[in-house]
């Protein structure tokens, strides 16, 4: 198992990066730096594919964290 953990972490990290990059955000660049954008765009309900991507990202992140902890043991 110890020999496969680095490969598992590489696969999980690539999956996590891809999932994060394909998520769309409603905020513009000015909103990230404190600009006065539409404040309601930051608070919306995720639906459909967006919700699935978010849940998949959280699951992959938790699996990555667990694999990192297992690697320490």
**Tens of pLDDT along the chain (73 residues)?**
778 999 999 999 999 999 999 987 655 544 445 555 555 556 678 788 889 999 999 999 999 999 999 988 8
Residue 46, sorted as left (phi over 0), alpha (psi -120 to 50) or beta, turns out to be beta
What confidence score (pLDDT) does residue 18 get? 93
* Res 2: pLDDT: 79
C-alpha closest to that of 29 among 46, 41, 17? 41
- Predicted confidence at residue 49, as pLDDT, reads 87
Tokens, residue 23: 């998520």
Q: What is the pLDDT of residue 33?
A: 53
pTM assigned to the model: 0.71
Spatial neighbors of 17 by CB under 8 A, at least 6 apart, are none
């Amino acid at each position: 198992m110890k020999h496969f953990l680095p490969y598992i972490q590489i696969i999980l990290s690539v999956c996590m990066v891809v999932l994060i990059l394909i998520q769309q955000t409603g905020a513009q660049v000015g909103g990230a730096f404190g600009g006065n954008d539409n404040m309601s765009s930051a608070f919306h309900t995720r639906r459909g594919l967006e919700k699935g991507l978010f849940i998949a990202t959280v699951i992959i992140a938790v699996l990555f964290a667990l694999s990192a902890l297992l690697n320490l043991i």
